[in-house]
Amino acid sequence: MRKEQEHLIGIKEMCGLIGRDRRTLWAWVRSGKFPAPLRINGRTIGWRASSYRTWLENAR
What mean pLDDT is predicted for residues 2-12?
81
Nearest to 49 by CA among 4, 26, 30: 4
- Each residue's pLDDT tens digit, 17-48: 999 999 999 999 999 999 999 998 888 899 99
Query: Could you tell me the pTM of the whole model?
Result: 0.83
CB 25 within 8 A of CB 34: yes
Spatial distance between the Cα atoms of 10 and 52, rounded to a whole number of angstroms: 11
What phi and psi values does residue 43 have, to the nearest 5 degrees?
-120, -40
The pLDDT assigned to 16 comes to 98
Position 11 pLDDT exceeds 60: yes
Position 59 pLDDT exceeds 80: yes
The pLDDT assigned to 42 comes to 84
**Domain boundaries, given as residue ranges, for the chain:** 8-59
- Name residue 46's beta-bridge partners: 38
- CA dist 51 → 1, 3, 14 (Å): 24, 17, 11
